[in-house]
Structure formats: C-alpha cells, structure tokens
Amino acid sequence: MGLTWKERAFTALLGAAAVSGLTTLILFLVEATNVLLPADTKFGIVFDAGSSHTSLFVYQWLANKENDTGVVSQALACRVKGPGISSYASDPAQAGESLQGCLEEALALIPKAKHQQTPMFLGATGGMRLLSQKNSSQAEDVFAAVSQALSRSPVAFWGAELLAGQDEGALGWVTINYILGLLVQYSFSGEWIQPLEGTSVGALDMGGASTQITFVPGGPILDTTTQATFRLYGTEHSVYTHSYLCFGRDQMLNRLLAGLVQSSPSLLVRHPCYHSGYRGTLALAPLYGSPCVQAAAPRDLGQNLTVEGTGNPGACVAAIRGLFNFSSCDGRGDCAFDSVYQPPVRGQFYVEASSPGQDGQLRDYCASGLYILTLLLEGYGFSQETWGGIEFREQAGGTNIGWTLGYMLNLTSLIPAEAPAQWRAQSYGVWVAGVVFLVLTVTAILGATVVQLWLRD
C-alpha cells in the first residue's frame, strides 16, 4: 500500500530538516577543523655534548601552535658513537666527524623541504667545562671543529656553546615540568589555569662530570647566586639550582681510585668497591689528567696500576664519604656539603642518571650505586620521609629527561611569557559546533513532533 500525501509530506519535512542540520553542522565543523587540523610540522635538533658521550635529539611541533603548551614532542634520540667531544682535545677534527652518524639519521627523518627551516644547536656540559679549565685553547679548537662540521649540514646551525652548570640544572627543571604539563593547564571551560603552588617537580641530574639539583624551595632563597627565575605563561617561577662539577659519576670514580692510590704503599691497589675476584691493570697518566683529581700523583706516571677488588661495602662507603666535605655544613640546616648553600628539599623529584660505560660496567656498579645513595641522603638531604618522592626515570611522556628540550624551548622562544589566546579560539569553535548541532537536533525533533500531531488530526 502506498504512502498517503500526509505521510509523504512528513517524510519530506524530516529529510529537509536532516539535510539542513547536517549541512549546517558540516559548515561549522569545517570552520572548527580549519583551526584544529594539524598544521605544518616544524623540527629542531639539539646535541647534548656530555663528558662521556654525545646524544642527538630531534623535536617536532605544529607550526600553528608553536607558542602553546605541551605541543613539542621528541621524534628521535640518537647516541653518538665514541666518547664525548672533550676526549678529542688532541684531534679536534674527529670531534666534528663523530657527530655525522646521528646527524644523518636526523636528516633522514626530517623532510628535505624542512631542512633549511630546522634550527640545530650543540650544548656542551661538564666534560667541556673541565677541558676549558685545563686548557682553554684546546677547548676552543674543539668547539671550532664541531661548529665547522655542523655548519656544512643543510639545516640552520645556530651554534655550539658551553653551558654553565646553573643553566644546565635550570633548563632540566623546565624540561621535566614542561613534559608533565605542570607549567600551565588548559581547562574545558576555555581558560588557562595556573598550576597550584607546590605542584612543580624538582630535577636531579647525574652526568659523567657534574651533578645538578634544581627545585622550588618552601621559603625564600637566601643565596641569590643559586637562584634562577623564569616567567613562563604569565607566572614567575623562582627555583634553587646548583651544579657540582667533579661530582659526576665518571669523575667520582676517578677521584675515588686516585684517593686509594695515594693511600697505597705500592702500585697494587685493593679497591673495596670492586667485586671480589676482580683484577685489572690501567695506565696511571689518564687518571691524573682531570682537574678534578687533586690527589698527589706518583712520580712516574708512565707506570701501570694494578687494581684488585675486595668487595667490602662498608669500606666502599667510607671511601666514598671521603669525597665529600660534610663537616663544613655541621650545624647548618641550609647546607648540602662543601659549604654549599641549599634549602631543604621539597616535593617530588625526577632523576636522570648516566648509565655506566661499556668498559667495566659490572666493576663500577657497586661504587656508582653507593655513591648516588650517599649523595642523595647525606649530600642533598633526602630522608626516609622524602625518599618516596624520588623517581628514577630516563623518559617522561616519551621524551628524554634532561636540559636539551628546555634549551631548545628557550632559544626558539617556544614558551611565551604570557599564556596565548589561540587555544580559546580553538575551543570556542568546537563548542559552537556542538551547540549548533544540539539546537538543530532539538529543532528537528520538535518539527517531527508537530508534524506527527498534525497527521493525527
């Protein structure tokens, strides 16, 4: 049986309402999509030239959101083969050549059309700081060779520089708090929400030559030389930060061994931190080549040293404690060690520690672990109550923890001083589309109801 004219009219009205509503919705969604669809992707490259090795990181972000929060992500992490660039002091050209493998990986990842627009940086830390102290002309030669090699690449090389220890710590704090979204949050109501006081996390970094601690203390920072201030998203952040050169993992191991050599009557040293049964030989000269080793060197540095492990944890801790001057902080509640001012630790901390080297890593595990424990408990002042707030992580949110992301964000001005208004427009577009859809749906239902009532009459 065919439809009556009233039923046909009813169907036509419903169809017209549906088409009209769908068309309008599509138009609004297209308008919102013009704002929300991913725009052109940009890239940035940062070399982290540490004391023991160099790493390359590629970051990417959307061009139309480069002043927003939480949009920069890590696209590549590459560990350069060989030692840190400071190890090439006698052959600077090799320092530049050593970076080519990871650079080629980065260039293969980034589209060629983007190469000229991609900024590239190299920041050097503890190893080059020590080389600069020991021989400034050699350090300058290494930087020149690295800059020359990287300048030949098709990307926009912005230069190589030596980072101060305080900058390394402060930028590491920016990185971890940026990754975790603790600098600013965006609410569903379309407003920027500043983080609650005390919600930021501290940053601890254990490198090969230096170690850094950075956090927001519970009170005023009494020593302004340990203070770093940022204005990020309209909020001023004041952090305590200090870098201890010569207290990184590799330099600690050298200082520890040199101290044992000094107390030994012969060139046979029994090392309490090495496992029982270990026996090895090494050249003396490299041990005393670092400015961190203050112990008196034997007269003949051309000799070899024989080291035997005894596996004595108690004696190992005692030897490690001898690397610190804890007595200089006796009676002071705002002192870490070596007379360095530090407020009491506060809040949660993320720790990035360098992994043991490929040579003798089993041999060094005990010393490294007990050293980190001594540094955190007796040096930085963590306790049983605050220990639970420490997280040992290499990454957070798929991004490596460290100073490199904060460094690039700073140099490329990707974090503005004030919260941008762009996200408000994006949120508003989606909100309007949702409201329009709701209104059209209600209108269609009401229209259908009216027509049904009409048909019944």
Catalytic position from the list 168, 352, 378, 391: 168
Give the separation between CA 406 and CA 175, rounded to whole angstroms: 5
DSSP state of 248: S
Query: How far apart (Å, rounded) are the C-alpha atoms in residues 117 and 121?
Result: 13
In DSSP terms, which residues pair with 279 in a beta bridge? 308
Annotate 182-201 with b (16+ C-beta within 10 A) or e (fewer).
Answer: ebbbbeeeeebeebeeeebb
Residues 379, 213: contact at Cβ < 8 Å? Answer: no
- What burial class does residue 322 get, using C-beta atoms within 10 Å of its C-beta: 0-12 exposed, 13-18 middle, 19+ buried? middle
Strands 156-162 and 119-124, by their bridges, are parallel
Q: Residue 237: beta bridge partners? A: 230
Beta strands across the sheet bearing 156-162 = 73-79, 54-62, 41-49, 119-124, 156-162
- Annotated active-site residue 168? The verdict is yes
How far is 42 from 111, CA to CA, in rounded Å?
A: 10
Q: What residues are paired with 7 via a beta bridge?
A: none
Residues 59, 400: contact at Cβ < 8 Å?
Answer: no
Quote the CA–CA distance of 376 and 336 in Å, as a whole number. 10
Query: Which stretches does DSSP call E strand in 99-200?
Result: 119-124, 156-162, 185-186, 192-193
Are the CB atoms for 46 and 57 separated by under 8 Å?
Answer: yes
**Contact call for residues 170 and 216 (beta carbons, < 8 A):** no
**DSSP-derived secondary structure letter, 375:** I
The single-letter code of the amino acid at 296 is A
- Neighbouring CB atoms inside 10 A of 157's CB total 20
CA distances from 113 to 41, 155, 177, 241, 329 (A): 11, 10, 32, 40, 57
Residue 234: left if φ>0, alpha if ψ -120 to 50, beta else—which one? left
Give yes or no for a contact between 239 and 228, defined as CB atoms under 8 angstroms apart.
Answer: yes
Positions annotated as catalytic residues are: 168
